[in-house]
Amino acid sequence: MTRRDGVDMEVPTAAETSQPRTVTVGGADMIAFLNANDIWVMWPDGSNLKQLTTDGAAKTSLQWLPDGQSILYISGKCIGMAGLDGSSQSIACFNSAQYLEDISVSPDGAQIAIALDRVLYVVPLNLEALQGARNHTDLVNMNGCLTYSELASKGADWSSDSKMLAVKIIAPQNGVKVDMVRVMDVSKCGSTPPRVLDTFPGPRFSMIGYNDAPYIPSYDWDGEWLFLLNSRVRNDVYGYLYAYNIDTRHAEQLDPMQTGCCYTDAQWSPDGYYVLFAYQNISLGANSRNLLYLIPFGTIGTNANYTPLPLPEGFLAKPSEHPEAAFRPVK
């Protein structure tokens, strides 16, 4: 075991040179992310970069499939799949829809949540069946666990036991429609509406910039108690970073880089000990660069100095670019 900037790295000894070198951090051995609208993968220390797609089409919602060899994603009104072997495939296109905003695969690999036209569908993760879906009726006919339309939904994240969903909704607050995260119990299939466990920020806490731009560009759940989310104050998706505990209902602003702003796409590692995030130093104005960090969560607030992942010059070059990274759990 060696360490680099506080990150544990499993590196084989000389006696193990017949085996491929691997790097694991936080229960993950690979990270998929977006750069210039294409999907790349790398080891958690930023090495072994590989480009999977080359079409340059805008993409979102990277999701590893349970086999760890393929990644689902959204491009336009279509769900696509990119393989580590360089293969690509269109899974489903919803051409008559206005919005296809998010997909989220459950940790047990059994279900997928799809946000289509602000309705959230939770259906079996059956790619063959999903390939036949073209509209809302087709998703309903997949006999999924949930169709949620009580409030407009823009996406979802799963608890670690696949029994709860954290849904990004559009809800009224003080006469204005705002983004919120609603945590719901979906363990009982067909329960309408599902039991609501918490909704935030709402009355729980406020984020800098949220009153002027009431959006949540990114959020992530450790699957147990802790959420990471950011406001929107800069370049569409960057803002102030917060942690929220749904058990204690306590929130705190996080600033690992000690500049106040700006952060986006904060993601928990599979074991919940590390956090990956993209960062822009707001004090540098137009000269700020997009940097990607992977750090131990427990060291935030200790004045620790962190080193960004060593991505090549020119990666994440546009000011509004953000990686939407996804960890591949170690098998």
What's the average model confidence in pLDDT over 257-263? 97
Q: What pLDDT is attached to residue 301?
A: 96
- The two most distant CA atoms of the chain are separated, in Å, by 66
Taking 90 as the threshold, does the pLDDT of residue 308 lie above it?
yes
Residues 169-197, mean pLDDT to the nearest whole number: 92
Who's near 242: CB < 8 A, 6+ residues apart?
205, 207, 228, 229, 230, 231, 251, 252, 253, 254
What pLDDT score does 10 carry? 47
- Mean pLDDT of all residues in 294-316: 97
Query: Could you identify the residue written with the tokens 């072994």?
Result: 48
Joined together, the tokens standing for residue 14 give 């000389």
pLDDT surpasses 70 at 191: no
Q: In whole angstroms, what separates CA 49 from the centre of its chain?
A: 20
Q: What is the pLDDT of residue 20?
A: 57
Write phi, then psi, for 77 (nearest 5 degrees).
-105, 20
What residue type is 184 in one-letter code? M
- State yes or no: pLDDT of 12 exceeds 90: no
pLDDT reading at 11 higher than 80: no
Average pLDDT, the chain: 93
pLDDT category of residue 6 using cuts at 50, 70 and 90: very low
- Residues 49-82 have pLDDT tens digits of 999 999 999 999 999 999 999 999 999 999 999 9
The answer to whether residue 192 scores a pLDDT higher than 80 is no
- pLDDT value at 9 more than 70: no
First to last CA, the chain: 19
Q: Is the pTM of this model over 0.85?
A: yes
Average confidence (pLDDT) over 173-186: 96
C-alpha 94: how far from chain center: 22
The answer to whether the CB of 89 falls within 8 A of the CB of 78 is no
For the chain, give the percent of residues with pLDDT over 90. Answer: 90
pLDDT at residue 193, rounded to an integer: 80
Q: How confident is the model at residue 19 (pLDDT cuts 50, 70, 90)?
A: very low
